[in-house]
Structure 1
Amino acid sequence: MHARSIHTTGSFHARHCRKITELAIRHVCEYIKRTMKKLLYAGIIVIAVIAVVAVGYRVYLGILAGDGQITREVQAERTFGNDTDTGDAADVDTNGNSDAVDEQEPAIGTIQYGVTSGESGDSRAQFLIREVIFGRENLVEGTTRQLDGSFLIDYDDHSVRVGQFEINVRDIRTRSLDVDMSQERWSDGERDVVIRAQILQSGRDEFEFSTFNPTGVSGVPESFEIGDTLNIVLTGDLTIRGVTSSVDFDMELVLESEDMISGTASTTVLWEDFNITIPYVGGNSDINSVDDSVELRLEFTAIQEERSGI
């Protein structure tokens, strides 16, 4: 009888322990379920907030950048205040008399040339800068055909004057190239938005245009004629985003005919000279680094606009 009582009591305790254990497990599971549900809701809220912030920031950038449409075509001023830095040689006749005009050479006079701009023209302005993105080096090329400028060339007195250049930087479109420029990797509309919104801020009307106002021309030879190529240095004031800095362009000028000239010009500047910073570089960004300097290039064809002196 006593043994049976002990057995019954043991069974009761065992059943009671199982019930307590089951109840505890059930409570723990319910707690975990409630906690997971709360974490899930919290995660959804965090993701939603991040998405809203990201979308909102993109919308904000889009507002700053605008649609990239230009307000007008480029229209550089046709003024020529710079002087040719050369000892202009006087014409010499066969008898050695200086300042005598060789009557055998037909006078060409002075010709004003204007750069052909827009999509139908052969002229363009570019920037080239190196960056490392995802650990791979790229060359970023930005291009616009909205470039205008002018030249005043005196073929008799052998002088070259250069007028203002104007560039619509809002029209710049970029692409990424291999560093040897052999292959295009991708065009980047998102980078274009950042350029218009933050880097050049060309989405703002007051920063839509950049100008280069020449102050001097050096390296012009003492004599030249149609068909020659002149390698000259063009000094002047470059204005980007409202900040002006003096730069020297190395220019190759081809005197193709009385009706047309062509050429290229290039210089290298530092971003900091124009108070420009590049965002989203380093740290957790996909862009590991960007060069401090940028190469600026002009490629142009200019046709005769006016002629005088004949």
Structure 2
Amino acid sequence: MSTRAPAVTARQLIKTYPGDVTALRGMDLDVDAGTVFGLLGPNGAGKSTTVKILTTLARPDSGTASVAGHDVLRHPDRVRRVIGVVARPREPPAPGQAVRNAGRRRPAPGRRAAGPLRSRRRREATPVSRNALMNANVVQNGISTAVQSVIIVLLGRAAGADYPGGATGLLILVVGSILLGTVFGALSNALGMLVRQRESIIGINTFLLLPLTFLSSSFMAPSHMPSWMRHIADFNPVDWAMVAGRSALTADPEWGLVLSRGGALLVLAVAAVWLSTRTFRSYQKSV
């Protein structure tokens, strides 16, 4: 019998999900250090919930658990520093994925993990702020939108387009594009936390983005729009970005229009990021 201290210990773990679904009912677990342990059971037995609790991704309703001597509730940061998690993907693994996973090693004590393992830890169980993780793809979308906007502007210039608004107008155009991308990126995050299905997120985004694009001045001049379409465009964030960018690029910009539309877009972007953060906190409480 091993005399080592257990690597994993759990006592009387209880976890209940909304709808009175009990995933764990007083679970006890001991895993000796230096052993390979398999946690088996039918669907709904609580395997995933147990792993989430042990990796600090979920909190039990009651009970205690420790990993490598660190309490998962009192010292989650310490637990995250000594573990590595490779979650099973829903889709079939890519060729060689198992070999790459097996080749990732825990760094020596006192050294930081590097490469794929460090990235994996950051995504799965990490002391990094959850809000930072939640909005990382929003920042990525903003950077991607900025790069795409600059490329389009350069291609237009190469094709003979003229920008009377100069550098200031171009900057406002790019910033408006970034804010619009931030709005839809943050809303996608919020929807993801609510519906938790990729197909639903894509469908909802398409349902929103396409009509908003067609109901803006990007496809039809305001003078040719029916009155009901002009009223919708006044409250359309896609049109706000279009109007602000177009006005800023003219030789004599209407700065009142640029500031009002750009300001409205900024407020909406901040609200969307706030909503994204709030829905993520609600999601954390439900797991």
Which structure features the higher share of strand residues? Answer: 1
TM-score after normalising by structure 1: 0.21
> Normalized against structure 2, the TM-score is what?
0.22
Higher-RCO chain (CA-CA 8 Å, sequence separation at least 6): 1
**Greater per-residue helix proportion:** 2
From the CA coordinates, give the structure whose radius of gyration is larger. 1
